[in-house]
Every structure is written in structure tokens, then in C-alpha cells.
């Protein structure tokens, strides 16, 4: 191993540890996920939901409530269920197995219209009910929404059937004094769907010329609330005021907030402080933006070497703790569950790039703000300088150690040189060996 290779390795390791510093590992599944599912013979046993291609076992959505985590799996061939649960902690050193949720019997195949056929987005409301989108099937010809009461023995209720089938992707909830609304994105459609729980009514809201995929909503205590939408196959981040959606509008004109540096935002999450997180197709990082400020993206976490079309799912619980799954389609460990405290900050103190659609109004800073910025800048400079010194020190130490080993090896070979030459001469040419021996003596 050359000093240059070692130096590159140390630099890469330092970078990976820095970006993941805010998160702790909860579980790790080296190769596959297993499910506690009953077999066809109706005797309970562990069935692997690992197909010949592990890329088919990809988590898509996640929610956390109390001591349980709920994960939606892509319903590919060989995957018996699309909604599973696992505990937030375990006394066993082995990672837990997935449990069909709310039960094995509630999951069906295409055509089981009164069962969960193909789960998509999910969200927990303020009273502990888990809302689950279900794309349904062509045999039933409609999609639906389920409600599962997590605080009441997981009682499950089919609360709405949509007048269409398929293309549901994700949802967010808007709880108001006048009722609860769900806002839903659809694949390949220039509209979003609004559902009113109290009226048990749904309608589509046209978004002319724009297809949306990811969705998030501003915190409940920040009125007027805004709906944030990630453009399908684009870098655009848009917003819509939810006031018009509550009032039954049928057409909306989304406002462009800015453009991410990366296209195809497939999952977004808003925390209770107003920070928006976004994951992107085939990207091994998650970006964030403080929505109380002009649009300025920051890299929140990066998992070095991660490869998957949808590598992350993101969720937060009642306490604001961030939870995340990391899925790798090519190498082990395949699956990891991570969490970060409610006060977790961006892993990079400096923004990568500002992508604002229109220049924000500049506001002069007070002397106190200027002083605070100066102090923060100085602290950041010292932190970066310390990291550089630490990395250089590690590289220098490895290079020095390599040279010492090389010198010792060279010295250890010297006493044996004459003997080796003698053996070579004696084997190949006795006359030359005799002449060489006389010269040495």
C-alpha cells in the first residue's frame, strides 16, 4: 500500500465520518430483510422477502409513532406485503424481522378490493392515526385511503375510495379547526388531489404544465400554511397556499421557490422547526433548506458509496427525532436504520449553492447580528483549520511509518546478500564462484 493510496483513503474516511456525524446507527441488515409471515400451510415461519435481485426490496416511505416504525415496500413480484412494521429499539443484537402491518390478513393481491393491495405514502396525524395511500389494482379500478388507529389496537378502516385507479404517490395532512385535509401527489399527472375527511370527498386540483412527485407542508403553527412540491423530472421546488385548497379551488398556479442543484426530488419532509429535507433519485445525500429564509440549499447528510434509485426514506416522530433508512443496491450492508436528535443541524456549515428564482430583498443587519455572524465565521474557520491539520497529521504519520518499515526491510536483507550471491554462483558457475570467494576473502 503506497503512501498516496493511504492518504486518499484517510481523506475519504474523514469526509464520510464528517457528513454522517449527526446520525447514529440503530439497526443494520447486512444482506436481506426477513418477514415474520405465515406460510401457505398457515404455520408461522420466517419467509425471506429477498428475491434473486435484491434491488426489488426497496423501502419507499416511512412513518414513526411511539415505539414503532412503519415502512412501505415497493410491491414487486415476490413481495407478499407492502406495509410492515418494526420496533424503534431491541434488546437483541440481531436486527429485527419485519412484521406485516396491521396484520397478514389485511394484505391482499390484485383484486382483493377490501384489503391493502399496494401501499404508497403514509402519515401519522396528531391523534395517532396512520393514514395510508393504496393504489389498488386494475381489477378493482379504484385507489383508496386507509386509516389505522395506532392508539386503539390498530383498528383499521377504509375511509375513502377515489374515482380513479393508480398513480398515487405521497400525501401530507392539514389538520384545521374545520376538519382534516389530505393533499396527494400523483405520478405523470398535472394535478394534485385534495381529500376532506369530514365531507368524505375528494377532488383534483389542476396544476397546468407541471407534474409533481414529492410533497411537504409547513408546520401547523406557521399560518398561512404552504404546500411544498417537488417537480417531476426537474429541479424546481414550488409552493401553493393551502387556503385555496381548503376552499375547494379546482386550479392552482404553483409559485417557483427556487431550483435544487439536483433534479428529481422523490421524497420531502418538513420538521416542526420549518426545515425542509429532500432526497433525490440516485443521489447518496439529502439536502435541506430553512424555509424561514430565502431559498438556500445545504447538504444535510451524505452516505459515501451508497447506490440505489431511492436510497433514503425520511420521517420524524412526535418529539422531532429524525429517522432515516439507507438502502444500498450493490454492496453490504444493504439496509441501515439511522436516527438523529431533534436538534440535528446540517452537516455542512456553509451552503453549497444558492438557487433563488428571484433576488431576495436585502435587509441590513444590526450591530449585534454582525458581531454574531463574525463570531460564527471565526468558529467555523477554526473548525475547518483543525480538520485540515488533523488530516495532514494522519497522512504524514502514515508516510513516515511506511518509510521506516521500508528501511528496516532493506537493512534486514543486507546480511543475507553475500550468502544469496554465493548460492547463485555455486549453482550456475563453479569457476565464477571460486573467483568471487577469493575476492571476498
Domain boundary residue among 372, 401, 429? 372
Mean pLDDT across the chain, nearest whole number?
80
Which residue stretches of 104-248 are H helix? 242-246
Sorting pLDDT into bands at 50, 70 and 90, what band is 423? very low
288 beta partners:
277, 298
How many angstroms separate the CA atoms of 92 and 106, rounded? 28
**Mean pLDDT over residues 370-383, rounded?**
45
Q: What is the pLDDT of residue 346?
A: 55
Q: Do 363 and 431 share a domain, yes or no?
A: no
Last residue of a domain, one of 345, 372, 399: 372
Residues 413 and 342 in one domain: no
- Examine the domain organization and report whether 359 and 395 are in the same domain: no
Question: Does the structure show a pLDDT above 80 at 68?
Answer: yes
> Tens digits of per-residue pLDDT, 11-32?
443 344 334 347 899 999 998 8
Same domain? For 327 and 394 the reply is no
Q: 9 in a domain, yes or no? A: no
Q: HSE-up of 93 (CA within 13 Å, CB side)? A: 0
The answer to whether residues 252 and 316 belong to one domain is yes
Whether residue 80 is found in the same domain as residue 137:
yes
394 with 367, same domain: the answer is no
The angle at the Cα of 440, spanning 436 to 441, to the nearest 5 degrees, equals 120
User: Do 65 and 117 belong to one domain?
Assistant: yes
Per-residue pLDDT band at 80 (split at 50, 70, 90): confident
Residue 227 lies in a domain: yes
Closest among 428, 346, 430 to 22, alpha carbons compared: 346
Residues 66 and 194 grouped into a single domain: yes
Q: Are residues 79 and 221 in the same domain?
A: yes
Comparing 378 with 37, which gets the higher pLDDT?
37
d(CA 125, CA 172): 9
Cis check: omega of the bond before 308, within 30 degrees of 0: no
What stretches of 108-254 adopt beta strand conformation (E)?
A: 119-124, 129-137, 142-149, 155-161, 168-176, 179-186, 191-196, 201-206, 212-217, 226-231, 236-241
The residues pairing with 289 across neighbouring beta strands, listed in sequence order, are 276
What is the pLDDT confidence band of residue 77, given thresholds at 50, 70 and 90?
confident
Which residues constitute the domain of residue 390? Answer: 385-440
Q: Are the C-beta atoms of 303 and 283 separated by less than 8 Å?
A: no
Residue 6 lies inside a defined structural domain of this protein: no
Looking at the domain assignment, is residue 120 inside a domain?
yes
Q: Tell whether 361 is covered by a domain.
A: yes
One-letter-per-residue 3-state SS of 188-209: CCCEEEEEECCCCEEEEEECCC
**Would 191 be classed as within a structural domain?**
yes
CB of 347 closer than 8 Å to CB of 19: yes
pTM of the model: 0.75
The reply to whether 325 and 434 lie within a common domain is: no
**Residue 241 forms beta bridges with which residues?**
226
The answer to whether the CB of 29 falls within 8 A of the CB of 333 is: yes
What does the pLDDT look like over 157-210, one tens digit per residue? 999 999 999 999 999 999 999 999 999 999 999 999 999 999 999 999 999 999
- Number of structural domains, the chain? 2
Nearest to 244 by CA among 230, 236, 254: 254
Query: Which residue from 68, 80, 75, 72 is spatially nearest to 35, judged by alpha carbons?
Result: 80
Q: What is the pLDDT of residue 100?
A: 95
State how far Cα 36 lies from the chain centre: 25
Which of 13-22, 35-44, 263-272, 303-312 bottoms out in mean pLDDT, i.e. has the lowest? 13-22
- Rg, C-alpha atoms of the chain: 29
Give the confidence band of 37 by pLDDT, cuts at 50, 70, 90: confident
Residue 377 placed within a domain: no
Q: Do 169 and 68 reside in the same domain of the chain?
A: yes
Amino acid at each position: 500500500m503506497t503512501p498516496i493510496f493511504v492518504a486518499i483513503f484517510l481523506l475519504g474516511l474523514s469526509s464520510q465520518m464528517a457528513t454522517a456525524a449527526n446520525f447514529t446507527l440503530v439497526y443494520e441488515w447486512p444482506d436481506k430483510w426477513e418477514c415474520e409471515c405465515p406460510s401457505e400451510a398457515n404455520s408461522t415461519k420466517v419467509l425471506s422477502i429477498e428475491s434473486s435481485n435484491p434491488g426489488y426490496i426497496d423501502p419507499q416511505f416511512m412513518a414513526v409513532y411511539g415505539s414503532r416504525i412503519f415502512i412501505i415496500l415497493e410491491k414487486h413480484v415476490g413481495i407478499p406485503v407492502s406495509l410492515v412494521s418494526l420496533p424503534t429499539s431491541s434488546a437483541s443484537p440481531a436486527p429485527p424481522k419485519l412484521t406485516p402491518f396491521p396484520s397478514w390478513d389485511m394484505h391482499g393481491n390484485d383484486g382483493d378490493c377490501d384489503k391493502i393491495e399496494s401501499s404508497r405514502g403514509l402519515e401519522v396525524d396528531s391523534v395517532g392515526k396512520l393514514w395510508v395511500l393504496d393504489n389498488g389494482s386494475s381489477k378493482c379500478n379504484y385507489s383508496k385511503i386507509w386509516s389505522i388507529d395506532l392508539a386503539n389496537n390498530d383498528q383499521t378502516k377504509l375511509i375513502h375510495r377515489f374515482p380513479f385507479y393508480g398513480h398515487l404517490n405521497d400525501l401530507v395532512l392539514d389538520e384545521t379547526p374545520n376538519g382534516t385535509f389530505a393533499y396527494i401527489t400523483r405520478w405523470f399527472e398535472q394535478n394534485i388531489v385534495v381529500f376532506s375527511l369530514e365531507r368524505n370527498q375528494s377532488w383534483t386540483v389542476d396544476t397546468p404544465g407541471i407534474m409533481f412527485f414529492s410533497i411537504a407542508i409547513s408546520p401547523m403553527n406557521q399560518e398561512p400554511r404552504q404546500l411544498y412540491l417537488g417537480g417531476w423530472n426537474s429541479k424546481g421546488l414550488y409552493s401553493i397556499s393551502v387556503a385555496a385548497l381548503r376552499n375547494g379551488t379546482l386550479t392552482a398556479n404553483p409559485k417557483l421557490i427556487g431550483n435544487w442543484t439536483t433534479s428529481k426530488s422523490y421524497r420531502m419532509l418538513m420538521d416542526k422547526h420549518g426545515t425542509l429535507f429532500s432526497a433525490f433519485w440516485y443521489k447518496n445525500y439529502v439536502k435541506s433548506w430553512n424555509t424561514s429564509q430565502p431559498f438556500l440549499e445545504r447538504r444535510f447528510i451524505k452516505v459515501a458509496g451508497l447506490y440505489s434509485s431511492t436510497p433514503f426514506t425520511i420521517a420524524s416522530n412526535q418529539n422531532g427525532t429524525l429517522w432515516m433508512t439507507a438502502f444500498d443496491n450493490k454492496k453490504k450492508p444493504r439496509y441501515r436504520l439511522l436516527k438523529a436528535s431533534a436538534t440535528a443541524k446540517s452537516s455542512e456549515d456553509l451552503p453549497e449553492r444558492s438557487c433563488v428564482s428571484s433576488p431576495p430583498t436585502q435587509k441590513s443587519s444590526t450591530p449585534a447580528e454582525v458581531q454574531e455572524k463574525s463570531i460564527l465565521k471565526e468558529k467555523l474557520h477554526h473548525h475547518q483549520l483543525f480538520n485540515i491539520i488533523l488530516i495532514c497529521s494522519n497522512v504524514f504519520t502514515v508516510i513516515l511509518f511506511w518509510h521506516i518499515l521500508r528501511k528496516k526491510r532493506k537493512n534486514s536483507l543486507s546480511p543475507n546478500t553475500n550468502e544469496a550471491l554465493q548460492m547463485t554462483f555455486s549453482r550456475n558457475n563453479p569457476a565464477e564462484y571460486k573467483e568471487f570467494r577469493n575476492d571476498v576473502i
